Amino acid sequence: MGIKYSKTSGDNNNRNSNRRKKYDPILLVCVILFAVFVVYNVILMINSGTKQGDSHAFKAGNGIEPIYDDSDSELLPEGYKTVKMTFDDLSAGDLVLIGLDNYYSRDVSDSLVGMYDCMTEYNSSKNAVQCYSVSDSSVIIRPEVCSAMNDLLVNFYKKTNISNINITSGYRSFSLQQSLFDREIAEKTEEEAIHWVAKPGYSEHHSGYAVDINIIDDSGVAIEYTGDGEYKYLNDSAPDYGFVVRYQDKKKNITGIYYEPWHFRYVGLPHSKIMQEKDLCFEEYIDYLKDFSANGEHLKYKHKNKTYEIYYCKGYNVYVPENLNYSISGNNKDGFIVTVDY
Ligand SMILES: [Zn+2]
């Protein structure tokens, strides 16, 4: 070993350094240990750098860049407390805005129920009546939307005796939306198609808050729902149950979507009533609420013996009253909307 080493060293260095070469194995071991130590630490640093980079990339890749702004956090109103929200919370709640410019990344498929499960009959003096139909058992939706839609359609029957409304669509997965979009771009350019059928990730149907309907005529054929004539009452009364006709013809320049009288979106009370009375589409309403902050004036609305106060909190610091009922919804954009009731 020593000889071999000495020979090799001699080949590379000067021949008169034999005495020093006797200690080279120890030196070599030290050098190797030091090198291993350095390499180990370099690997550790690289790994830690990669993890930070990945985590940042994951957030940025989620579709929405929230604006974090706590500049007004020192102005907490008296009787209020701060609730810290997260990026994930931005896409939770019945006021999440989803549309051409608002991507929705949440998977809600675990929290849905079948539309059939909510169906109740109307017991008239003569017999029990089925007030509407559901196209098949694959129509699933959020429980609160399911029950509100049932109430709306049972009331519609009671007022009009019309029972041929058919629910065709509720929640849609990204892959189902992709197949609908693919079908649309077989006939149109992609630029044109997005105004008729949303691209995957941009459809309200992913959230479980949207419902589509059609009409089954006397011969059992499904026809398009237009909301005209005797059906106008359904559109007009939808806000009493938390729904709005989301894509109106007169608002297509704002929503970017052509008229869809059959597409109902659940936004909850009293928001649906305020949108109806002020003639605001969802995009306009979300902007309008930014005029009302926790520290400033709140939007007040009375409905059925209840008073509501609504305001907007920018960023992740949300201010809520310490002693009143409230709900918080992300707007899927840049902040949260608080709805207080008493
Ligand atoms: Zn729809």
Query: How far apart are alpha carbons 80 and 181 in whole angstroms?
Result: 46
**Percentage of the chain lying above the pLDDT 70 cut:** 78
Query: How far apart are alpha carbons 29 and 25 in whole angstroms?
Result: 6
Confidence of residue 222 (pLDDT cuts 50, 70, 90): very high
Confidence of residue 5 (pLDDT cuts 50, 70, 90): very low
pLDDT of 20 strictly over 60: no
**Percentage of the chain lying above the pLDDT 90 cut:** 63
Q: Give the mean model confidence (pLDDT) for residues 312-339.
A: 94
Give the number of other CB atoms < 10 A from CB of residue 149. Answer: 28
Give residue 211 CA to ligand 1 midpoint distance, Å. 6
Annotated catalytic residues are 260
- For 266-285, give one letter per residue: b (16+ CB within 10 A) or e: bbbbbbbbbbbeeebbbbeb
Give residue 30 CA to ligand 1 midpoint distance, Å. 71
- For 115-134, give one letter per residue: b (16+ CB within 10 A) or e: beebbeeeeeeeeeeebbbb
pLDDT score recorded for residue 318: 93
Phi and psi based region of residue 218 (left: phi greater than 0; alpha: psi -120 to 50; beta: remaining): alpha
Confidence of residue 29 (pLDDT cuts 50, 70, 90): low
Q: Give the mean model confidence (pLDDT) for residues 136-159.
A: 96
As residues whose CB is below 5 A from the ion ligand 1, the structure lists 212, 263
Between 56 and 12, where is the model more confident? 12
Per-residue DSSP letters for 40-104?
HHHHHHHHHHHHHHHHHHHHHTTS--PPP--TTGGGPPTTEEEEE--TGGGG-STT---BTTB--
pLDDT of 3 strictly over 60: no
Query: How far apart are alpha carbons 248 and 320 in whole angstroms?
Result: 33
pLDDT score recorded for residue 71: 57
pLDDT of 190 strictly over 70: yes
Give residue 320 CA to ligand 1 midpoint distance, Å. 33
Confidence of residue 6 (pLDDT cuts 50, 70, 90): very low
Poorest-confidence range of 19-23, 33-37, 229-233, 308-312?
19-23
Residue type, 234: L
pLDDT of 64 strictly over 60: no
Give residue 169 CA to ligand 1 midpoint distance, Å. 7
Confidence of residue 30 (pLDDT cuts 50, 70, 90): low
pLDDT digits 0-9 by tens, 104-118: 989 999 999 999 988
Query: How far apart are alpha carbons 308 and 325 in whole angstroms?
Result: 10
Side-chain-side CA neighbours of 78 within 13 Å: the count stands at 0
Quote the mean pLDDT of the chain.
83
Query: How far apart are alpha carbons 17 and 140 in whole angstroms?
Result: 85
Confidence of residue 15 (pLDDT cuts 50, 70, 90): very low
pLDDT score recorded for residue 52: 33
Give residue 237 CA to ligand 1 midpoint distance, Å. 19
**Considering the entire predicted model, what is its pTM?**
0.78
Between 136 and 271, where is the model more confident? 271
Residue type, 311: Y
Q: Give the mean model confidence (pLDDT) for residues 309-328.
A: 94
Query: How far apart are alpha carbons 168 and 213 in whole angstroms?
Result: 5
pLDDT score recorded for residue 60: 31
277 touches 306 (CB < 8 A): no
pLDDT of 58 strictly over 50: no
End-to-end CA separation in angstroms for the chain: 90
Q: In what order do the strands lie in the sheet with 299-303?
A: 299-303, 306-314, 335-341, 325-330
Decide: helix, strand or coil at residue 172: coil
